[in-house]
Chains A and B, each alone.
Chain A
Amino acid sequence: MVLAHALRAKFRSCLEHFPLQSRAKEERKKAKPNRRTPSPRSEARGEILRPPPSPSSDGRRVQPLHHQQIRRLDLLQGRRFRCLRCQDYGSSGRMDTNDSLRVASLWHSMHAISQQLSPTVGCSGIELLEADTFDLHCFQSLTGTKFFVVCEPGTQHMEALLKVIYELYTDYVLKNPFYEMEMPIRCELFDLNLSQAVQKDRVALLGR
């Protein structure tokens, strides 16, 4: 589907080609599925990325990154479209704070667009984005907070991990009386438990 390709391409281009330029707002406006001309950003950097010339064509070839890690980062987004927390677990391809914030706001916009454009009624947004070099799983709570994790393609049980992270969030972040709602999360207990949850998962996966 054209929409899936366009969204995938947009997100992949941002995630895999660093540093991102600060055009998040324009990206939001430009993230329409039926755009036929390449966006100015991709042209400026001479990417081989192009929107598909016809709906039936498959695609796009982007040079794969060399990362071996199981997962890259978890980002939380509050209701006011802000990235509250992001964590890199991989050994390569780390993003700095600004890049993470841009990716987070881009993802929020794409999630919103996908809800409006979905052919099924009552769609709650993108849950899984599969690309050649990564998978992105997203979980949205009924309160609008989104949790997403970027991992290697084909990683199992990410939904369960996201639910565990949601419970950790409700415990160590929301129940901390000194945490202000919608602000970036700086709770040590949350970080600690989050690392433990991810490590446990990684051990389980590596032990296959």
Chain B
Amino acid sequence: MPTVGPRSGDAIFAKVERVNAELFTLTYGAIVRQLLTDLEDVEEVNKQLDQMGYNIGTRLIDEFLAKANISRCVDFKETAEMIAKVGFKMFLGVTASVTNWDIEGTCCNMVLEENPLVDFVELPDTCQGLYYCNVLCGVIRGALEMVSMKTEVTWVRDVLRGDDSYELQVKLLKQVPEEYPYKDDE
């Protein structure tokens, strides 16, 4: 088996193909605008963004595991560090920091230094309940579910809603190991 250790987020980010950031921001903005036009209800749009993120996350996790060459994380703390340092860097080009661990080590907050999704964006008064970057919550939830962790990811602070930074809360609900369809007779 290969003895190469896990690659750092910077190293992978340097190697993957990149796309124009403005194109990315514009594309995401177009998606959100279209969803608002189609669904008209801000809560529905939040849910849709989360669902879209979930679908992305279930596919993205294999890409992440293949390129980052990491082995199984020992505990949830390591998982959160991986997401913050390697995952965000690899896919969005930004790093996040992990803070606010609870006593059991199942709940933490991730603070994003920058957020390429929201460049040039201001929320109008009609969309005040909208979590513009809710897709990120879905991505993390979907990705972790594919590696047997059921999580709940929500926004704690959102600059577009008036706070001073982007902060996600990632809470591990339970570990679901893979089940096999037969039982031991003995």
A144 vs B59: C-alpha distance when bound (angstroms): 13
Rounded to whole Å, the gap between the CB of A160 and the closest CB of chain B is 7
Cβ proximity bits A167-180 to B, threshold 8 Å, 1 near / 0 not: 10111001100000
Nearest residue (CB) in B for A29 is B182
Contacting residues, chain B, for A112 (C-beta < 8 A)? 180
What residues make up the interface of A, taking CB atoms closer than 8 Å to B?
Answer: 28-29, 32, 79, 81, 109, 112, 127, 141-145, 159-160, 163, 166-167, 169-171, 174-175, 181
Contacting residues, chain A, for B185 (C-beta < 8 A)? 29
With A109-B180, A143-B146, A144-B178 known as contacts, the answer to whether A159 contacts B2 (CB < 8 A) is: yes
Which of the residues B59, B65, B67, B72 comes within 8 Å of A181, measured between beta carbons? B59
- Cβ contact within 8 Å between A163 and B2: yes
Contacting residues, chain B, for A143 (C-beta < 8 A)? 61-62, 65, 146-147
Rounded to whole Å, the gap between the CB of B33 and the closest CB of chain A is 20
- Cβ contact within 8 Å between B65 and A141: yes
- Cβ contact within 8 Å between A166 and B146: no
With A144-B178, A160-B2, A163-B2 known as contacts, the answer to whether A169 contacts B62 (CB < 8 A) is: yes
Residue of A141, A145, A170 with most chain B CB atoms under a 10 A cut-off: A170
Nearest residue (CB) in B for A34 is B186
Rounded to whole Å, the gap between the CB of B186 and the closest CB of chain A is 8
In this assembly, does B162 line the interface, its C-beta being within 8 Å of a C-beta of chain A? no
Contacting residues, chain B, for A127 (C-beta < 8 A)? 1
